[in-house]
A and B are shown apart, each in its own frame.
Chain A
């Protein structure tokens, strides 16, 4: 083979040539830390040389990459002490084949030109061209992976936070799923916050990547326990698996894993001469730890924002019943009164109907959509509701929460806001209805207009008796192709852009404003007679 500019990762010393990520990983390798082997396509490699490099990489990958390869950015300015460029550049999984590998390298290299990366650089005073190297490594198939941020002092982590998910860390880093959180200060480990993970991402073997959604594949857990997982989809060499139900209650990391990670953080921080370190890591099925990225922690740990959605941010689901209400979270069977509380539930059965008649303030369901049975019963009972809030299982009972059924949001609140009823003044307006109520409303309206239905589900012609009880009553016909009914004592008034009005001959002036109101007297819509 002809010589190539490719560098083995353990020889990637010169950060100006191999980028910050590769240089840091090379230093860890030299300290004997568990970094996966790799090759580096250096900064400035001409595009014309890439096809030859691809051949060399594929020859090197033979027998090393059962789950394909990963091409990772390693920009010169990346992973520095002041700026990290975290999330600015691309990483791509790729099958160990010529075309896809070439495309992955090109894509990673061109991510240096991304407007967001360039804007980030300018914002941090970096004006030089953003040189980009590419690290190529065999794709790991992790049982668990994640991030670790630690402050290291005198050979120990004095403040630390680990976030872990099963499989690849991408959903954690991108914030689409919430990882299991381990954190601590000096000798004290705080209680572990469980993960909220419904989908597991893993690089797939070629045979697995050919399987359609709905098929099963075997995956290994952190305790080397094998189970079947259903394929949701696969793309770009990565399987998206539905998290197996039996694993839902199991922790992602054991205490032993945590200690291993903290020990490695100490050694990595020393190798990189750092006091605050940010590591990305992965455990594979044989229990081996792999460090896949190490960089300075560019902000104090106590400011480090957790990835994913957490309680403080609230939760989103599917809007199911309009309205906003707040109250303490309760669950059926806890023995707590539901009146004025927010019921957290799954799919409801008829057993729950009695509880709902206790008039909870709102309902939050972990499943379903706007036509689910839970949504429909809440709608029938006029209770604001949000469905499909998967994370609602984590909302502690008695926590005060506010539910916005129109927006589909649930968020913690410090107190219960006062409920306001927006009963509008109707003076001078005509209220449009589909049928006359049994009792007349005394809300200041000038008239009532019955909306004529072409389907004649509601034959709405008023009678003299009705008019006597309800004040002035007319008929509004908004459909052009409906014949005008004959109604003695009524005149036909053609409206400019709303159809026709049957108005009592002795009805006086027609109100200029038409409104519809809900049973609370809230105006739902208002328009001018000639709008």
Chain B
């Protein structure tokens, strides 16, 4: 987000994501403009599109909506509801993508079109959570925890620990899949089967950039097989898996310990207690949102790219309105 200029803020994905396709910019700008509706159920648009990749937001609108977000995120019941709704949007997206995948595989064009339309509509709602990267009231949370825990440093440690996702982050999750596949090969599973599984479940995540215009390396099962062959032969996937699991258990325990500390410290002051519960849920929601959004974004972009190939469209020119028009999503 650029600083205020003439009473206006600018969100410039053209600069922050210069290699993006039109669809990628569209996903960001459309979901940005819609975040008040998706997250707060407030119909006010967050700004207007200047051109693909750039959104201008009037400062009064920004200030009002950010204040509304802060208030919203201080209510534990509303935050839990938000987390539930976000999870539902993710499930709807994943379900539509699975159906589109199946339809593409079956060469059922009509079903693929319809599922991609629905998937686009659902995924735009998932994408609205990307505002957690710069609109969360982190300073206010740290101030509150500083008061509760009587220490700025402990407040920061607590805030950071609370921003641990409930489900394993996508980087470790992808690596765990790889290690499990390598271990399964050592146990006799056929390499091709393990490679196909890794390719389908995590192939879009490996490599630089995004799968919007070109496939990521491990989308190719043969490349995944090469990697698994090396990994199963040279590494000790079982002990690495054990180490990974131990680390994840430990980070969850650290998170829970800090949450308990903050709740114990706030105990006896109902307002602070509610605010601590709310921010604890909100931080986990934000971390989960980021991790799950990345997995879904890559799956979605890969699927749309392959759909474009099947339908003889240019994957670098397709837009969200094009895709929403395919289904009931518009």
Interface residues of A (CB under 8 A from B): 212-214, 230, 232-235, 242, 319-322, 348-354, 357, 369-373, 375-377, 379-382, 405-407, 432-435, 451, 455, 476, 478-480, 495, 497-499, 514, 516-519, 524-525, 527, 531
CA distance A315 to B206 in the complex (A): 31
Q: CB-defined interface of B100-129 with A at 8 Å, one 1/0 digit per residue? A: 000000000000000000000000000000
Interface residues of B (CB under 8 A from A): 2-3, 5-6, 8, 10, 12, 14-15, 50, 54, 56, 76, 80, 132-134, 138, 149, 153-154, 156-161, 163-165, 168-172, 174-175, 178, 202, 205-208, 235, 240, 243-244, 247-248, 250-251, 253-254, 256-268, 270, 273, 277, 286-287, 290-291, 294
Contact B5–A213 (Cβ < 8 Å)? yes
Contacts of B257 in A (CB 8 A): 516-519, 524
Contact B261–A213 (Cβ < 8 Å)? no
Contact B268–A478 (Cβ < 8 Å)? yes
Instruction: Give B216's nearest chain A residue, CB to CB.
Output: A349
CA distance A350 to B264 in the complex (A): 37
With both chains docked as a complex, state the minimum distance between the C-beta of B130 and any C-beta of chain A, in angstroms.
10
Contact A212–B207 (Cβ < 8 Å)? no
Instruction: Give B268's nearest chain A residue, CB to CB.
Output: A497
CA distance A212 to B58 in the complex (A): 13
With both chains docked as a complex, state the minimum distance between the C-beta of A340 and any C-beta of chain B, in angstroms.
15
- A519-B250, A527-B265 known; A350 vs B54 contact (CB < 8 Å): no
Contacts of B265 in A (CB 8 A): 525, 527
Contacts of B263 in A (CB 8 A): 451, 478
B80 interface neighbour in A373, A433, A455, A524, Cβ under 8 Å: A455
Contact A371–B258 (Cβ < 8 Å)? no
Contacts of B262 in A (CB 8 A): 525
Instruction: Give A454's nearest chain B residue, CB to CB.
Output: B277
- 10 new A-B contacts, CB < 8 A, other than A212-B5, A353-B172, A434-B256, are A322-B156, A322-B160, A322-B161, A350-B206, A370-B160, A380-B164, A432-B264, A476-B267, A518-B257, A525-B154
Contacts of B170 in A (CB 8 A): 350, 373
Contact A434–B259 (Cβ < 8 Å)? yes
Contact B15–A242 (Cβ < 8 Å)? yes
CA distance A232 to B161 in the complex (A): 33
Instruction: Give A242's nearest chain B residue, CB to CB.
Output: B15
CA distance A456 to B208 in the complex (A): 42
Contact B264–A376 (Cβ < 8 Å)? no
CA distance A233 to B2 in the complex (A): 7
Greatest chain A CB density within 10 A among B12, B15, B258, B267 is at: B267
Contacts of A407 in B (CB 8 A): 153
Instruction: Give B286's nearest chain A residue, CB to CB.
Output: A371
CA distance A442 to B257 in the complex (A): 18
A-B contact pairs, 26 of them (CB 8 A): A213-B3, A213-B5, A214-B15, A348-B171, A349-B171, A349-B208, A350-B174, A350-B178, A353-B171, A370-B138, A372-B290, A373-B170, A375-B163, A376-B164, A376-B171, A377-B171, A379-B163, A380-B165, A406-B156, A434-B260, A451-B263, A478-B264, A479-B270, A495-B268, A525-B264, A525-B265
Contacts of A382 in B (CB 8 A): 247, 250-251, 254
With both chains docked as a complex, state the minimum distance between the C-beta of B216 and any C-beta of chain A, in angstroms.
10
- A349-B171, A371-B132 known; A379 vs B161 contact (CB < 8 Å): yes
CA distance A516 to B157 in the complex (A): 14
Contact B294–A373 (Cβ < 8 Å)? yes
With both chains docked as a complex, state the minimum distance between the C-beta of A386 and any C-beta of chain B, in angstroms.
11
Contacts of A370 in B (CB 8 A): 138, 159-160, 163
- A233-B3, A351-B206 known; A371 vs B290 contact (CB < 8 Å): yes
CA distance A321 to B156 in the complex (A): 9
Contacts of A232 in B (CB 8 A): 2-3
CA distance A476 to B10 in the complex (A): 48
With both chains docked as a complex, state the minimum distance between the C-beta of B69 and any C-beta of chain A, in angstroms.
15
With both chains docked as a complex, state the minimum distance between the C-beta of B147 and any C-beta of chain A, in angstroms.
13
Contact A357–B294 (Cβ < 8 Å)? no
With both chains docked as a complex, state the minimum distance between the C-beta of B215 and any C-beta of chain A, in angstroms.
15
Contact B12–A499 (Cβ < 8 Å)? no
Contact A380–B202 (Cβ < 8 Å)? no
Contacts of B149 in A (CB 8 A): 525
Instruction: Give B168's nearest chain A residue, CB to CB.
Output: A380
Contact A380–B248 (Cβ < 8 Å)? yes
With both chains docked as a complex, state the minimum distance between the C-beta of B111 and any C-beta of chain A, in angstroms.
31
Instruction: Give A514's nearest chain B residue, CB to CB.
Output: B264
Instruction: Give A322's nearest chain B residue, CB to CB.
Output: B157
Instruction: Give A211's nearest chain B residue, CB to CB.
Output: B5
Contact B153–A214 (Cβ < 8 Å)? no
A376 interface neighbour in B2, B165, B208, B247, Cβ under 8 Å: B165
Instruction: Give B9's nearest chain A residue, CB to CB.
Output: A213
A377 interface neighbour in B169, B235, B270, Cβ under 8 Å: B169
Contacts of B273 in A (CB 8 A): 478-479
With both chains docked as a complex, state the minimum distance between the C-beta of B159 and any C-beta of chain A, in angstroms.
8
CA distance A379 to B290 in the complex (A): 14
Contacts of A321 in B (CB 8 A): 160
Contact A516–B254 (Cβ < 8 Å)? no
Greatest chain B CB density within 10 A among A319, A350, A479 is at: A350
Contacts of B15 in A (CB 8 A): 214, 230, 242
With both chains docked as a complex, state the minimum distance between the C-beta of A323 and any C-beta of chain B, in angstroms.
8
With both chains docked as a complex, state the minimum distance between the C-beta of A43 and any C-beta of chain B, in angstroms.
37
Contacts of A435 in B (CB 8 A): 256
CA distance A354 to B236 in the complex (A): 11
- A354-B240, A371-B286 known; A381 vs B160 contact (CB < 8 Å): no
CA distance A322 to B158 in the complex (A): 8
CA distance A211 to B261 in the complex (A): 50
Greatest chain B CB density within 10 A among A348, A377, A433, A495 is at: A377
Contacts of B156 in A (CB 8 A): 319, 322, 406
- A349-B208, A373-B294, A478-B267 known; A354 vs B175 contact (CB < 8 Å): yes
